Structure formats: structure tokens, C-alpha cells
Amino acid sequence: MTQTSTQSQHTHRIRLAEEWLHSCAGCEMAFLNIGEHLLDLLQDIDIVHMPVLMDHKYYGQKGEYGQRRLPKADIGLVSGGCANEEHKEILTHMRAQCDVLVALGTCATHGGIPAMANNWGMQETYEQVFQTSTCETTSVPADHLPRPLDRVYALDELVSIDLLLPGCPPNPTHIAEIIGSLVAGRQPQLPSKSVCDTCPAIRTGKMVSKEVKRFTCNCVFDHEQPIDTMRCLLEQGFLCMGPVTMAGCARDGAPCCIRARVPCRGCYGPARQGGHQMMDMLNAVSGSGVDVKSIVDRKNMLRFSGAHNRLRVRRKRK
């Protein structure tokens, strides 16, 4: 963590740049959802580059630069996975221009939704997008598109990253904490436990079923009673990814999905550094005596963390 680089810059306003790669803009919405506190932060920071908010052209207003220019910044936030040569170039450029680089959101930290393409590979994914009945185009466009990489990468697979802030989208409070802590020259206070550690559901240590239920069944709860009267959804037989997923989404005393009485899908990525959400979850489930064969699509457990070679194209047997 390059804390010293920000500590030495207290004498000037902090310059913040933000970029989005293979992103849905949800992370940028989360940045805006910092809300009124953003006005406080703007007392200390200048946003020098943020395509989603600012008309800041890479090549100059009329293309006069001739090559892409990104401004120097103390803090850089980058959202989205890295799927093509253009993403890779922008990411490398941001790394060169920013003292502290933050991977913003689960796509950036673990591949997220874009890395689901790693299940099939880029070629087949493109063919699915451009050559199915939902699209009039009959061939994959070859011109004017950046060349795809061999797979979708998380940012730390391609450049060094100083801070990881997962979440799909990340919690706005934690985005503000990262910016505020870097402005103040201190370490950010971020969650380090699992979703289960922030969940008030009742755990008895006993599973009600030896088989995992499909999400098409409803869980059992009394909607007139508070959330801490509900039995743990995993114990009820649902594949709740809370045990293996990083905390961060809890508000009003419970993780977001659990508060809505639905199982955690794992959107904050693995709870432990280098964790494997599918293997860790299979271990947790089988350790409770549940038949792991009853899990219909195991790879789905990597739906948010398919980078780092977790999801790979399965070679077809000859």
C-alpha cells in the first residue's frame, strides 16, 4: 500500500482519476451514491478524469494530441474487467499516471460478470453475441473493434494494484472511506470478514435437507418478524454463498440479499485472499453432510470470480 505517496501530498489538493473498462457503469453509480458526503470529499479532491461524468477527450478536443493522454493523478479508480487490447492499454496508462491505483468493483478485482465469458472463450462468446437470433448481424465484426484478449482478466493480473474494493457494485460508504483515508494519509478501514459474519440469521449447525434446493423454491420466514428470527438460508437448504463471500454489503444490520430473504450469490468475491468461491463452497456444503451432487451448476458459484484462471474453457473430449 503506497500510503507514503499520499501522505507527502497534503500540501496540494488530491487529484482523482477514474476509468471504466469492461464495466456496466454500476460502479460509477455507486461512486455518485456516496451522496452528500461526496460534497465533503470534493473540498479536498479534484476529479481530473472520469469519462462517465466529464467530457475529457483522450486525444484532445479536436484530436490535436495525436495519442491518448491521461492526466497525472494521486488516486486512480478503475472499474470493469479487462477483455480487449484497448482496456489493457488504458489500464497500463492509468497505472503509469496514478500514484495509488484502486480496482473498483468485483469485475476489476475478480473478473465479475464479464469473466463469465471465460467459460466459453472469447471467440465463442463473440459468436453468441453477434450470430444468434437476437442480433441482425450475421458475422462477428472485424473492423473498428479492439482486438479481444485471450480471456477476461482481473486488473491485478495485468498491472500492480494498490487496493482492491470488491462489490457488485461496491458499497458507496467504502468508496468514500478509500478516498477519505488516502486524502488523510491513513490506511482505509474495509471489511475483512465473510458475509456470514455480518448476518443475523439463526444458525443451529443442523441442515434441514441433505440436498441443495433450487432457487425456484421460497425460503421459510415470517415477513412480519425481523430478519434475526429467520433460519439461516444455507441451513434451510439453499446455496447461500455467505460463508465464502467477502462482507461489505450489510446495511441496517444484515447483508443486502439476506435482508430481502434471498440467498447470497457471492457478488463481493471470495472472503479470503486467493480464495476459490466454488471449491470453498463445495467444502463448506459437503462438510455439513449435504450431497454436493445436488448442486446443479457448480461453475455458477464462480459467476463473480471467474478471472485468475478460475473459469476456463473445458476441452471437449474427442
Q: Which residues bind ligand SF4 (CB under 6 A)?
A: 23-24, 26-27, 79-80, 105-107, 112-113, 168-169, 195-196, 199, 201, 203, 232-234, 240, 242-243, 245, 249, 255-258, 264-268
Q: Report the residue number, 190 or 257, with the smaller CB distance to ligand SF4.
A: 257
Q: What distances in angstroms separate CA 261 from CA 51, 200, 264, 304, one per listed residue? A: 36, 12, 9, 20
Q: Report the residue number, 2 or 221, with the smaller CB distance to ligand SF4.
A: 221
Q: Report the residue number, 6 or 21, with the smaller CB distance to ligand SF4.
A: 21
CB atoms within 10 A of CB 162: 19
Q: 18: which strand partners?
A: 77
Q: Report the residue number, 106 or 118, with the smaller CB distance to ligand SF4.
A: 106
Residue type at 184? A
Output the smallest distance, CB 86 to ligand SF4, in A: 16
Residue type at 309? N
Residues with Cβ < 8 Å from 57, sequence gap 6 or more? none
Output the smallest distance, CB 313 to ligand SF4, in A: 22
Report how far Cα 109 is from the mean position of its chain's Cα atoms.
6
Q: Report the residue number, 6 or 23, with the smaller CB distance to ligand SF4.
A: 23
Output the smallest distance, CB 29 to ligand SF4, in A: 7
Angle at 259 between CA 256 and CA 265, to 5 degrees: 50
Q: 257 phi and psi, to 5 degrees?
A: -70, -40
Output the smallest distance, CB 2 to ligand SF4, in A: 23
Angle at 174 between CA 168 and CA 176, to 5 degrees: 120
Output the smallest distance, CB 236 to ligand SF4, in A: 8
